[in-house]
Amino acid sequence: MVKSSFSGKEIPPGKGLMYVKKDGKILWFMNRKEEKNMFKLGRKPRTVAWTEEHRKAKNQRIAMATHSEEQKAAEKPAAKKTPAKKTAKKEAKK
């Protein structure tokens, strides 16, 4: 089975559109909606929410964000504990 060049979904036999560029590259589309999004509207598959490429990019962004948050949490120094005597003196001054 052939995969769509825009959405990444598999196209069943006997369905879809085949577009051949001047350089010989073959692009497959599931329907006119995909073809129009790529050529007429000039959209990139990563920016269109219903494509496989968008889902992969989104999952990578989420994974990178959680990984960076975990690193920041691990890099934070432990809170310094003040001895009881010093805190008692500070409270007495107030």
Answer whether residue 62 is part of any domain.
yes
Supply φ then ψ for residue 55, to 5 degrees.
-65, -40
Q: pTM higher than 0.75 for the full model?
A: no
The residue ranking higher by pLDDT, 34 or 94, is 34
Which CATH number do you get for residue 33? 2.30.170.20
Give how many domains the chain has, as a whole number. 1
Residue 89 placed within a domain? no
Per the structure, the complete domain to which residue 51 belongs is given by 2-73
* pLDDT, average across residues 49-73: 81
Does residue 84 lie in a domain region?
no
| Residue 65: inside a domain | yes
Q: How confident is the model at residue 79 (pLDDT cuts 50, 70, 90)?
A: low
- Interatomic CA distance for residues 53 and 3, integer angstroms: 12
Q: Is residue 54 part of a domain?
A: yes
> Given this model, what pLDDT does residue 5 score?
87
